[in-house]
Amino acid sequence: MTLHVALATGALLAALVLALASPSKALALVAVLASALELAMATGVLQLGRLHLSSVPFGLVLPLLVAVPGVLAWLRAGSKPAVSAASIVAFVGTLQLVLHVTSHL
């Protein structure tokens, strides 16, 4: 298991917990979909690495779609499982964003 697969798996599991424990389901569902796409890309099931959305690489968009809802859900979370899951989602999304940016310098 590579680092990218481990991070994507952790983000997906935490996003699923967040979807079950969080009052804001829309943010959690965005994180679930983005982390599921990241896991599919990390395992090689889906290859969208060269895709660009209006000159922004798709590999940069997905970590943002994980990190931003994670931070927003963390700010809104009230229960312990939701806070923990949102923290993991936000941390993994931020770490994936940093890894993507540093690998493309």
Determine the length of the chain: 105
**Cβ distance 84 to 42 under 8 Å?**
no
> Model confidence over 61-76: pLDDT tens digits?
889 999 999 999 999 8
Q: What is the pLDDT of residue 23?
A: 79
Tokens of 62: 């997905």
The residue among 3, 6, 23, 4 whose CA lies nearest residue 86 is 23
> Model confidence over 7-41: pLDDT tens digits?
999 999 999 999 999 877 898 999 999 999 989 98
Residue 15 makes CB contacts below 8 A (sequence gap 6+) with 28, 31, 32, 34, 35, 66, 70, 85, 89
Torsion angles phi and psi, residue 76, rounded to 5: -95, -15
> Model confidence over 81-104: pLDDT tens digits?
999 999 999 999 999 999 889 987
**Domain count across the chain:** 1
Q: Residue 56 sits in which domain range?
A: 3-103
| Band (51; pLDDT cuts 50, 70, 90) | low
